Structure 1
């Protein structure tokens, strides 16, 4: 008996990666242009504020890979994968700040996923808030022969990493690990935006883990 399993899954407030290596670059960037929040017109105050916000992302380097800025009514968050150097993080955020305007022109809310970072802006409050309203998943089409063993090892690994990431503190909520099931090594990465409370981070990753069979 076989099953396919996920490569990458994202919520807006947390991410989970379980990896049996294959090339993912072709799937990024992935944009989510959110129409429910409305749009802005060229040369408007919102556009000016958004441009200032995205320039702040490009011009700022942070040590722990988390950006959060507000300009006028525009709020923005940038999160880099926890294993990146500050220079690599800044490069990804800089590219994202350019691409998000091109891929989601005139949208008041948008998200851009790269494999190394995520950038998001909105005209609503997004700081310190768990948001599972949007998700992005990639599936690895390789199969495993022992579903029960694979699922148990995966779930145990994610539970352990979930608690480690949630307790990471105010600067970084991030954890990685690996497990072996059916001669396959499962590599996993769990991360939350560090503005979440510990329990909020844990709950976000738990919800994401439960969603794996759905994706």
Structure 2
């Protein structure tokens, strides 16, 4: 985004002003490259590959798979971060799906999907049923249809030493149960919420389901995760759960963006971006007055 300020001053004054504005903006970006927000980063959370399967024609299947992966990567953004497709016929059919986390940008969704397809190709070259989990997206493909069928597969990620304040522990799971209850009712089955503990600051929760399952199954999927991993996550202040149809995140800092252009037809800057733009405008206006 470019800001142009036009004032009836001579070239020398405008040159000095432009240099000053650019200098201040450069210093700001140097010391605060992500604004004042604690930004989330994308990492691979895991992958699952089936055993090599030679019951189908490998050449035909691999050709169909390449077409499928390209289609997932090129269509996921315009379908609001969730896309499913089928390529091939009979035994050589490939079913594929990709889901991006609801808060990330379109560019991050696209990049994460591309990274997932590379991991699938490199780490599971002869597998027919593959799941790839990144923090920002989930990719799965199979030679058997799985669309609309809830899968129980899930893994919890936490740090064994990352214990929460005892006064907050009793609030964490009920809070995330509330996040889970609201997620299926959202238009994209994606929900974020904040818990203000007063004593130990805030906790941030997020839940999301793949959009091919029903809202009832979405709630059941999230509830099952909380039950199955209760002893693992119950006293932790940071944890993540990744499944085949639903996902949950809990943290003591705001790891997600308040706005996503994946879930809207119109582009809107994130809260971090709005903060940076506001500061740049304020600094520029102050320099205009000073000079």
TM-score (normalised: structure 1): 0.77
**Match of residue 105 from structure 1:** 125
Does residue 44 of the first structure (1) align with residue 59 of the second (2)?
A: yes
**Match of residue 19 from structure 2:** none
Structure 1 or 2: more helix by fraction: 2
Select 1:135's aligned residue among 151, 154, 175.
154
Distance (whole Å) between structure 1 residues aligned to residue 172 and residue 60 of structure 2: 48
**Match of residue 136 from structure 2:** 116
In the TM superposition, 1:37-116 aligns within 5 A as 38-40=52-54, 43-60=58-75, 61-72=77-88, 73-116=93-136
Distance (whole Å) between structure 1 residues aligned to residue 39 and residue 111 of structure 2: 23
Question: Any idea what the Cα deviations from partners look like across 1:104-153, whole Å, max 9, x if unmatched?
Answer: 11000111111110101111221111111x2222113311242xx53431
| C-alpha spacing 1:145/1:168, structure 2 compared with 1 (3 Å) | closer
Which secondary structure does the structure 1 equivalent of 2:162 belong to?
A: strand
Distance (whole Å) between structure 2 residues aligned to residue 90 and residue 22 of structure 1: 18
The alpha-carbon deviation at position 79 of structure 1 amounts to 0.6
Larger Rg: 2
Task: Give the paired residue count.
Answer: 187
Contact between 1:57 and 1:97, CA under 8 Å: does it hold in 2? no
Distance (whole Å) between structure 2 residues aligned to residue 42 and residue 180 of structure 1: 56
| C-alpha spacing 1:29/1:199, structure 2 compared with 1 (3 Å) | closer
Distance (whole Å) between structure 1 residues aligned to residue 195 and residue 116 of structure 2: 32
| C-alpha spacing 1:23/1:85, structure 2 compared with 1 (3 Å) | closer
| C-alpha spacing 1:145/1:151, structure 2 compared with 1 (3 Å) | closer
Select 1:203's aligned residue among 198, 202, 220.
220
Which secondary structure does the structure 2 equivalent of 1:82 belong to?
A: coil
Does residue 186 of the first structure (1) align with residue 203 of the second (2)?
A: yes
The alpha-carbon deviation at position 158 of structure 1 amounts to 1.6
Which secondary structure does the structure 2 equivalent of 1:44 belong to?
A: helix
Contact between 1:93 and 1:119, CA under 8 Å: does it hold in 2? yes
Contact between 1:161 and 1:177, CA under 8 Å: does it hold in 2? yes
Does residue 165 of the first structure (1) align with residue 198 of the second (2)?
A: no
Does residue 152 of the first structure (1) align with residue 170 of the second (2)?
A: yes
State the Cα RMSD in Å.
Answer: 2.4
Q: Which has the higher contact order (CA 8 A, sep 6+)?
A: 1
